[in-house]
Amino acid sequence: MRIGIFICHCGHNIKSTVDIEGLKGYFKGLNNIACVEDYPFMCSEPGQALIKSSIERFGLGRVIIAACTKALHQDMFKNLVRDAGLNPFLLRRVSIREHCSWTGEDIEKNTSKAIRLIRAGIYSSAHYEPLEEKQVEVNKSALILGGGISGMSAAAFLARAGIEVYLVEKEKELGGHVRHLEDVWPVRERGKDIIERMTEELKTLNNVHIFTSSRLVSFGGSFGNYEAVIENSGGEIKVIVGGVIVAIGFTAFDPSIKPELQYGIDKRVITTLEFEEKMHELPIKEGSRVAILHCIGSRDEIIGRPYCSRICCINAIKTGEAIKNRFKDSYVESFYMDVRSHPRGGEEFYEDTQEKGLLFTRANISEIIPEQGGLVLRGEDTLLGMPFEREFDLVVLSIGMSPPKDNQEIAGLLKITLDKDRFFLEAHPKLRPYDTALKGIFIAGTCSGPKDMEESINHGRASAVKLYGLLNLGYAFIEPFVAYVDPKRCSGCRMCEQACVAKAIKFDEGLHIVRVEEAACMGCGLCNATCPSSAIALKGYKDTIIDDEISALTEAV
Amino acid sequence: MKGKKLKNSHLDSLFDGFLKEEGSIILGFKRDGNAIGHHIFKGSAKDYSLINPFFSANGAIYFRRLFSKGAKLLFILRPCEIRAYVELTKLTQIEREGIVAISVDCPGTESEKEKTDRASLPEDIRDYFKGDNKKRWACINCREKRGVVGDAGIRLDRDYNMWIIPYTEKGERLIETLEGELTDIPIDMAISPDRQTDSFKTDMDALRSDLKRCVLCMNCRDMCPVCYCVDCVFNGDEYLPRGDALLNKVLRTGSTDMPQGKELFHLIRMYHVSQTCVGCGACEEACPQDIPLTKYFKGISERLQGIFSYMSGRGFDEAIPYTTFIEDELKDAED
């Protein structure tokens, strides 16, 4: 085997704290090393040319590039190796910048670590095999779960882009929570009007299939060819879709689990959602005293909701403003922890309402005591540090968002992880905020945590764009790092079948062994760890590769 | 619980009736003079014995990868053997179709390795329960000597009357063919569920010195009824390098004991069988070095199974903890 090592200086990034000449000297002395080269920037054109010409000149069988992390330039280096006539899966990247030179100033220690890291690359890449990416056909269709504002936005984008859309909503009508809002801030429109405009648009598109009063009952398959069964009063409908967007929204917090607030017991205690619906029927008039309580069902560790729901401050301010607008001489007091008027324009709105006479008091409300004349709020003014009791005619609770009711069921069907607050967990909070563990399944809107309308719409559209990017070509390449079964070793005990998250392992009754459906396999390696016979392994990550890599890292230099 | 009182003549007619059918066989024990051992009966069950007071191997090792293909099989074995059979069915190494498994109350066994004088083997199995012979450690500390596993059980009451008790539909169908009515079985039986066990204590020094004697013959693996892999990872040289590979490894990592990797062998085997181990002690029986393997395998696996409220071989429907994932389990192991 002929191995080529290419060490990058990355300007001064690596060179200043790693002894490059020392590295070169060490590796030149090892067996099977055909060449050891270094260059200030391997990613530059001359650097690339050096790698390419060395592969051709020495007839290299393995290429080891010791430079930055694999997360950078990987596709470029893969293509380079491929152009030079070598299978790109025989390339090994070793990170001696993020994992080594940037971690400390000690040249001796860094050089020793760089040697171990590169040596691990040599030992493991010796076991590499040429692999090919596989092409699978992809259905240009999408399933959208949840016909709220986020799901509808995603549906509209995908449908206009030419994707067949199946929009599933469990309620009788589309629109989710937004449909019930009387006054959407800051556009000052009725939620119903916004929803109906969007519904009309969806209805003009002939590739949108809307299923209301419907539920997803079963789900299987793999990216490009997911099989979903939708159930409604008309029976079961099976659809094949390329991908899925989950936008099942949230459940409004139910304040009755906090009995000290008297919600559900005294009719004079209502939520912001109820206020929106029956604003004009409320028993208030000029001179009425109204209290608005922030953070109900948010930032509350005791009831297991430590998060901020993000929308309730604006809702509380909006409620106060609506009362003040109708009854100029009413007394409206907001009791807050912090005012977090998140969206653009929120801060100005907060200022404006204060000028209109809305009072804000930083307080902890411990209980509401119903009396004949009114409701007595007992609490502590946290700025003055003084306890108080004040009487009101009406109390509006600004309620937060709770995880959607169906989260367990949907998470189970689609293999989505739940976070500690029981919302859906994205693959990465910064870099992959819409992705889930399975390819082509995205989450959108408030099911992955509290969001306001604008964010939910953006989230829906962003997921739609991500999904469109995957479906658009009509085919996809799947990574070759999938599990494979050694039929001679497999005992057919089916342990791996139980461990497989992607349901990619199928039992062959006739041969009494298991086999892997490559298109469905995510390459997570759970089956690998479960198999007692080591009959199942990941291509490119065989046990021997990992064993040798570990021993190379632990051996003395 | 209901069962039928059993006479020896009943069993004879049951076995003869069963074996008359084409493709029917019985797996049990055969007595040959003073020797008793596993035997497969075809045509006639002459000289069968319900009890084998000597342990050489766990009978379930003969069933691994048994896919009956229409044949009818009757197993009449010890509880530990039937429990291993149940575990193997869960791992799809045996197809339950066509098999009826009967466990028989076990008085405990002596090791075949001990050269006991067998001149006086009792004629009647009841006498085994009365005698005070030298039992194996595994049997003294046995978790389940009662014939309460499998499709049916043959049990003895305090007066040493035999009872046959069905546990599954298959067992019921077999017992239907016997004469007599199902009646309530006595509450007190010859073998009670109580057991006294040496509690297992972790002692790494003892483990290390015990394993020092290992010669890696792998007999323990080969005779283990629940070690079912068709090709063991230790058959290759991935874990046990030889020749040049060993030389390279020693040059790279430093000196090593010989044979190399024996601790790893036992630990990996422990990891593989600990949830299905029935504590029969076949491994120790097979060990030429007399390493007290039962102590470790039985002790650790019973503790592990206890964490999951699982007992290997207790029921066909109880899933092996490895193969299930319950989100809220093992809370006490978190910290």
- The confidence score (pLDDT) of residue A226 equals 93
Over residues A33-61, mean pLDDT = 95
In this structure, the answer to whether residues B220 and B94 fall within a common structural domain is no
Residue A15 CB-density burial (10 A; 0-12 exposed, 13-18 middle, 19+ buried): middle
Contact between A494 and B229 using a beta-carbon 8 Å cutoff: no
**Given this model, what pLDDT does residue B275 score?**
93
Structure pTM?
0.70
Range of the domain at A487: 480-539
Domain assignment present for residue B266? The answer is yes
Number of domains observed in the structure of chain A? 4
Last residue of a domain, one of B184, B214, B249: B184
Tell me: do B111 and B215 sit in the same domain. Answer: no
Percent of chain A with pLDDT over 90: 78
B290 and B180 in one domain?
Answer: no
Measure A90 CA to nearest chain B CA, in Å.
Answer: 22
Judged by CB atoms closer than 8 Å, whether chains meet at A530 and B253 is answered as no
Taking only Cα atoms into account, the Rg of chain A, rounded to an integer number of angstroms, comes to 30
Taking CB atoms and an 8 Å limit, are A512 and B233 in contact across chains?
A: no
The whole-angstrom distance between B177's CA and the closest CA on chain A is: 33
Helix, strand, coil shares of chain B as percentages rounded to 5? 35, 15, 50
- Facing residue for A498 by CB, picked from B230, B232, B323: B323
Same domain, A298 and A386: yes
CB contact under 8 A, B92 and A494: yes
Does residue B216 share a domain with residue B269? yes
pLDDT < 70: residue spans in chain B: 115-120, 131-133, 194-197, 326-328, 332-335
Q: Which pLDDT score is estimated for B333?
A: 63
Give residue for tokens 């604008």.
A454
The band of A368, judged by pLDDT with boundaries at 50, 70 and 90, is very high
Chain B residue with CA closest to A490: the answer is: B230
Nearest to A313 by CA among A330, A292, A333, A290: A292
List residues of chain A with CB under 8 Å from any CB of chain B: 488-495, 498-499, 507, 512, 530, 532-535, 543-544, 547, 551, 554-555
A489 and A435 in a single domain? The answer is no
Q: Same domain, yes or no, for B328 and B239?
A: yes
Are B68 and B135 found together in one domain? yes
Q: What number is the average pLDDT over the span A440-459?
A: 95
Mark whether A367 and A348 lie in a shared domain.
Answer: yes
A141 and A214 Cβ atoms separated by less than 8 Å: no
Q: Is residue A546 part of a domain?
A: no
Kindly state the tokens that stand for A512. 């009494």
Largest pairwise CA distance in chain B: 74
Domain presence at residue A236: yes
> For position B256, what pLDDT does the model report?
84
Q: Return the pLDDT at B196.
A: 64
Residue A430 lies in a domain: yes
Residues B142 and B66 in one domain: yes
Q: Note down the domain range covering B240.
A: 204-333
Is B322 in Cβ contact with A530 (below 8 Å)?
yes
Cβ neighbours, 10 Å, residue A417? 11
Looking up tokens 């929106």 gives: A276
CA distance A414 to A146: 14
Contact yes or no for B226/B298 (Cβ under 8 A): no
Confidence band, pLDDT 50/70/90 cuts, at residue A548: confident
Q: Is residue A68 part of a domain?
A: yes
Measured between CB atoms, which of B238, B253, B323 is closest to A495? Answer: B323
Answer whether residue B199 is part of any domain: no
Q: Is there a single domain that holds both residue B138 and residue B225?
A: no
- Cross-chain Cβ contact A533/B229 below 8 Å: yes
- Smallest Cα–Cα separation from B26: which of B15, B37, B36, B35? B15
* pLDDT band (50, 70, 90) for residue A37: very high
Residue A33 to residue A61: CA distance in whole angstroms: 10
Pair (A323, A234) in one structural domain: no
Q: For residue A326, give the CATH number of its domain.
A: 3.50.50.60
Residues B168 and B315 in one domain: no
A20-31: average pLDDT: 92
Residue B189 lies in a domain: no
Look up residue A178 and give its DSSP letter: G
- The structural domain count of chain B equals 2
Q: Does B300 touch chain A (CB under 8 A)?
A: no
Evaluate the omega torsion of the peptide bond into residue B259 and state whether it is cis, within 30 degrees of 0: yes
> Same domain, yes or no, for A246 and A262?
no
CB of A83 within 8 A of CB of A52? yes
Same domain, A383 and A263: yes
Yes or no, beta carbons of B231 and A551 under 8 Å apart: no
DSSP A98: I
Domain annotation covers residue B193: no
The reply to whether A365 and A259 lie within a common domain is: yes
pLDDT digits (tens, 9 = 90+) for A504-546: 899 998 899 999 988 788 888 989 988 988 899 999 888 889 9
In this predicted structure, what is the pLDDT of residue A222? Answer: 84
pLDDT of res. A498: 84
pLDDT number for residue A282: 86
Which residue among A489, A492, A544 places its CB closest to the CB of B92? A492
Q: What is the nearest CA distance from B122 to chain A, expressed in angstroms? A: 42
> B249: which chain A residues are within 8 Å (Cβ-Cβ)?
551
Residue A516: left (phi > 0), alpha (psi -120 to 50), or beta? beta
Which residue of chain B comes nearest to A495, CA vs CA? B323
Question: Which of B93, B230, B320 to mutate: most A Cβ within 10 Å?
Answer: B230
Q: Do both A234 and A180 map to the same domain?
A: yes
DSSP state letters, B74-135: EEEE-HHHHHHHHHHHHTTSB--TTEEEEEE-----EETTS----TT--SSTHHHHHS----
Please tell me the least confidently modeled range out of A160-169, A303-312, A516-525, B306-315: A516-525
Is residue B42 in a domain? yes
Same domain, A237 and A207: yes
Domain presence at residue A18: yes
Task: Return the residue matching tokens 């230099």.
Answer: A557
Q: Residue A517: give its domain's CATH number.
A: 3.30.70.20
